[in-house]
Amino acid sequence: MKNKNNRSICSAEYVRINGIDQFLFHLGTRFDNPVMLFLHGGPGSVESLFTGIFQDRWEEIYTVVHWDQRGAGKTLTRNPDKLPTIELMLQDLFEVIQYLKKEYNKKKIVIFGHSWGSVLGSIFIKKHPEEVEYYIGAGQVVSMVENEQVAYNKVKETIEQLGDKKSLKKLKSIGEYPGSKIVFDKEFLRKCTIVRKLQDKYKLGVEIGIDIWMAMFKSPIFKFSDIIAFMKIFKVNSKVHSFLGDFNLRTESKEYKVPVYYILGERDWQAPCVIAEDYFKDIKAPNKEIFVIPDAGHFLMMDQTDLVFDALSAINKKESGYPIATIANPLFL
C-alpha cells in the first residue's frame, strides 16, 4: 500500500472482532497523538476511501482510524453472510476500541461519528463512557422522523417561494411524509426518492461531485469489490434500518458523562443542522461546544475542509488543557 504522505502511521489490516475479520485503516504522524476512531455513515457507507480529500491535516493532531463496519465495505466483502444488528455493532465497536487502546497504549479513545456513525456513537457513549475520551458528532442525527419532516418542509418552502408549480405538484403527490414512524419499505423509499430528487434540484441534498469519485479511485486501499459491497448495503443492513427508523435521542436522558462536541453543516438538510442545534442546547456534559460550518452540507468535511479542521483543532486544544479564551476560532457558538 502506498504511503503518499510518508506517514509514520499508515497501515490497513483485518482484525478479529466479535468473531469475524473486520477492516481497519490507520493514518497518523505521532504515536503520542490522541487516537480518533472514525464511525462512517450509512448504515454501510464507508468513508475510509475518501481520506485523501479531507483528512491530511487531521493526521497532524490525531491518529485517525477508519473502521469498515459489519455490513459495510471491506468487512462486508470478507463476511457477506454476517449481517449487522444494532446489538452486534455496539459489541463490535466495544471490541474495536479495546484493540485500539492496546495497540496505541491509550486509556481512552476519541470517537468521531458522521451521520449514521453519530447514531452509533451517541448510543455507545451512553453505554460505555469509561472507554471514550470525548465524542464529536458531525452531521449529527437526533431523530430520523424529525430529519425527514424538516427536510420535507424546507424543500416545500423553497418550491413555493420560487413558484415551481410542477415540482410542488410532484411533492404533494406523495401525500403525508414521512408519517409518525419510518418503515423502510418500498412505499417509503418511493416517497423518499421523490423528496431527495427535489432536494438535489434545489441544492438541499447531498452533493457528490466527480472529484469525490476520483478520490475514491485514487485511494491506496480502493478495490473494485468496494463498489460491489456498496451496491449491497441497503439489503444487508435491513435490520439496522429498522432500528434507525425509530431512533430519537430526545427520548433518552440528555446527560452525558463524556465531553460532547458537534460540528454541523449550516446547509445540511439530510440531518438538518437546526435539529441538532436545538437538541444540543439542552444536553449536559463535562465539556460541550458546537460548531456550525458556513456553506457546508451533510458531507461537511469535504465541503469546507479547512473550517472543519479549525473546529477539530480547537477541540483538540481544549481537551489538551488550553484555556478556551486562548483559542481563536470564530466558529464557537
The verdict on 114 and 136 lying in the same domain is: yes
pTM of the complete model beyond 0.85: yes
Q: Count CB neighbours of 325 within 10 A.
A: 6
Strand-strand pairing, 132-138 and 35-39: unpaired
The verdict on 233 and 296 lying in the same domain is: yes
The verdict on 227 and 302 lying in the same domain is: yes
The verdict on 159 and 78 lying in the same domain is: no
The verdict on 23 and 171 lying in the same domain is: no
The verdict on 137 and 73 lying in the same domain is: yes
Rounded to 5°, the CA angle 142-276-140 comes to 60
8 Å CB contact between 275 and 150 = yes
Domain extent at residue 48: 9-141+221-326
CATH number at residue 272: 3.40.50.1820
Task: List the strands of the sheet with 109-114, edge to edge.
Answer: 9-17, 20-28, 63-68, 35-39, 109-114, 132-138, 260-265, 288-293
pLDDT in tens, 104-127: 999 999 999 999 999 999 999 999
> How many independent structural domains does the chain possess?
2
| Mean per-residue pLDDT, 79-86 | 96
158 within a domain of the structure (yes/no) = yes
The verdict on 32 and 125 lying in the same domain is: yes
Nearest CA-CA partner of 279 in 247, 315, 316, 318 = 247
The verdict on 115 and 15 lying in the same domain is: yes
pLDDT in tens, 215-274: 888 889 999 999 999 999 989 999 999 999 999 999 999 999 999 999 999 999 999 999
Residues paired with 332 in a beta bridge: 291
pLDDT in tens, 138-162: 999 999 999 999 999 999 999 999 9
8 Å CB contact between 197 and 167 = no
Q: Phi then psi for 31, rounded to 5 degrees?
A: -75, -15
In which residue are the cell numbers 497518523 written? 28
